[in-house]
Amino acid sequence: MAESATHRPFSVLVIEDEPDLVSFLTRAFESIGGRVTTAVDGVNALQKLECCAPFDLVLLDLGLPQMDGREFLEQLHHISPETRVIISTGYTPSFTKDEAKRFVAILSKPYGMDELISVTKQVLRQFDPAPKTNL
């Protein structure tokens, strides 16, 4: 079994509408001890937050159907402001100062497993050496 980022399980909500990318992200997070829950859009992600929260980490695609990533980010901030968010995007977004306070990192697509794992480990260590889990 792979060694986890924190030597403890962590929970992650992956919000992504591309099935191949969801599979890649799930494999990557599981390889470092992540317990992965997935959502295909912001509406589905809010439902997952209601049933499965808290999450140690959210990986959020900005370009989503129904409720886009920015709108979800605003909702998440009201529901669970302490949740760490990594933005995953295929373009270079601009953010207001208030929006920028709601996430901890940006991954620009395309990114590889090494970059994803490195950023994830850094975020988990930086913000909490012993993340909570929803196990």
- Going along the chain from its start, the domains and CATH numbers come out as 10-111 (3.40.50.2300)
- Please give the Cα distance from 135 to 117 (Å, whole number): 21
80-105 residue pLDDT tens? 888 899 999 887 777 666 666 667 88
The pTM score is 0.84
**What number of other Cβ atoms are within 10 A of residue 81's Cβ?**
9
DSSP E strands, 50-128: 57-61, 84-89, 105-108
- Please give the Cα distance from 76 to 42 (Å, whole number): 10
- Please give the Cα distance from 24 to 103 (Å, whole number): 22
9-44 residue pLDDT tens? 899 999 999 999 999 999 999 999 999 999 999 999
